[in-house]
Amino acid sequence: MSRRVGRRLVGRVVGCGRGQPVSALSALSALGAAMCAVAVPVVVVALPGIATAQDPAPYVFAQGAKTVQGAVTSTDAVELKAGGTYRSSIEAGVKGTGLGSGPGANGAAGTRYYRVDLDGSSDTYVSAVAVPKAGADVKVAFNDSISVTLQDRQGNRCDSEVAAFRSAEYPRPIAATAERVVREGGGRCQDAGTYYVVVARKTAPDSTRERWDLELSVSSEPALKSPPATIGPGAWSSASPRPPAGIPSERRGGTGFNDAQSLRQGVWKDRIRPGQTLFYRVPLDWGQQLFTEAELGTSAGDAQREGFVPSALSVALYNPARTPVTSKDASYGGEPSVAALDSLPPVAYENRYLSRADEAGVRFAGWYYLKVSLTPEMKGTFGNKESGLTLRLTVHGDAASAPAYVRDPGAFQVTDADRAAAESGSAQGGGSSLPSAGGQGGGLGGGQAGQGGSGRTNRMTVVGIAGIGTGSVLVLGLGLWTYVARRRAPAGW
């Protein structure tokens, strides 16, 4: 398994050579040697989970997520519990086939099996987030993908979804979700019992074949007290309101779903580097619509470079079950560029019966996630530098009454804690937090950021440690200088 949360040097000391002479007759030499001797251990001692400022921060997995091994056969599939979040991994298959040839794999190293036990009334969503290793030496292709399939014990497919990199061919987290929806006259996959989750990875022949990390989650939406309508809602307004204006406030995006930065309606700014992906989340209640614009800012001199980068900025929206809803790309040619997500209907339970996947995706209240990525191709044309990012979010409509669930819906609701988190910008808490390694409840809660926190937090930790080390060196140096001076001073000084 490739771990990007590792140990690395967080700094270096310039001008401290080995074997530098230290003379007892020179206070300056003694001080310099002391600083070299002490400073080197301080700055080269790395902490787990800390990345350097120029590296993309590693994806933050759910705190306490249990690590499980996917099986190569359904017989050996490990159980995933509703309300749980898990860590796993998946290998690439044989070049050009998507299949594998590892020992005992029977030609299926690119496929892994897991098991879920479902009741006969709840809707269930199984999500897989694929996390390839980041870096300029990692290559992914247009059709490289992760897929999630939910099937019953007879092999009947309940649902399947594929997430691919498409035109934005660079490594970043991608997510897909398969669902089991219980409805009257639904046919297959309606009964309680054992079901299998099949996660498959497709890899092009020239793509990097290193193992991908996986984050798997199972969320359960309870049934309604009364049978729901099985047709979608009527007409709704698709007109986009005027985007909010004013001075943007700064909030730093997270590395994934678990440390996504909380936002409310308004104008927000951030910085994004080529190859970086940032996550944000917005609470959306029943009856509300979300309108999103992401603007990539320009820098001095960009307009004179005469360059053009297609699909430079990519914006994707995910619902509380981590199901992809919609996405939009924007090119960059040296002037500000905007990616605006298409209009979606107000959040309603009945949306799940709509034929369009994007409209069906806004089927429940809760945290909706925005994933914003900047292509590494920006480096070659406009330089390896941060660009300004502005998010303009409009939450349209008043919160409506929630449908009558038979029990607490867990993550599929907006609580007072969620609204407070969006107001303050917290990347923790909110919603109905559930056990990370599987427990009873509705589904994915806000939870706490996992190990490592945000990249900005880690870098500040490094600065604090470096500050403590530097202070210790100065105190030691001053003491040594005083000692040498007193030895050289005449008696009675």
- Per-residue pLDDT at 148 exceeds 90: yes
Q: What average pLDDT does the segment 100-121 reach?
A: 71
In what order do the strands lie in the sheet containing 111-118? 78-79, 111-118, 193-202, 145-152, 157-164
- pLDDT confidence band for 55 (50 / 70 / 90): low
Q: What average pLDDT does the segment 204-223 reach?
A: 96
- 43 in Cβ contact with 16 (< 8 Å): no
pLDDT at residue number 184: 84
pTM: 0.78
Q: What average pLDDT does the segment 460-486 reach?
A: 44
Q: Note the pLDDT tens digit of each residue in 227-248.
A: 888 888 888 888 899 999 999 9
Between CA 77 and CA 375 the distance in angstroms is 37
Tell which wins on pLDDT, 369 or 43: 369
The answer for residues whose C-beta is within 8 angstroms of residue 479's C-beta and 6 or more apart is: none
- pLDDT confidence band for 472 (50 / 70 / 90): very low
Bridge partners for 26 per DSSP: none
Bridge partners for 217 per DSSP: 85, 127
Q: What average pLDDT does the segment 175-186 reach?
A: 92
Instruction: Give the number of other CB atoms < 10 A from CB of residue 21.
Output: 7
- Per-residue pLDDT at 492 exceeds 60: no
- Per-residue pLDDT at 102 exceeds 70: no
- 339 in Cβ contact with 328 (< 8 Å): yes
Task: Round to the nearest angstrom and report the end-to-end CA distance of the chain.
Answer: 65
**Would you state the structure tokens that stand for residue 338, as one six-digit string?**
């905007």
- pLDDT confidence band for 387 (50 / 70 / 90): very high
Q: What average pLDDT does the segment 208-220 reach?
A: 96
Between CA 83 and CA 312 the distance in angstroms is 36
- pLDDT confidence band for 94 (50 / 70 / 90): low
Between CA 272 and CA 341 the distance in angstroms is 19
Q: What average pLDDT does the segment 377-390 reach?
A: 93
Tell which wins on pLDDT, 21 or 127: 127
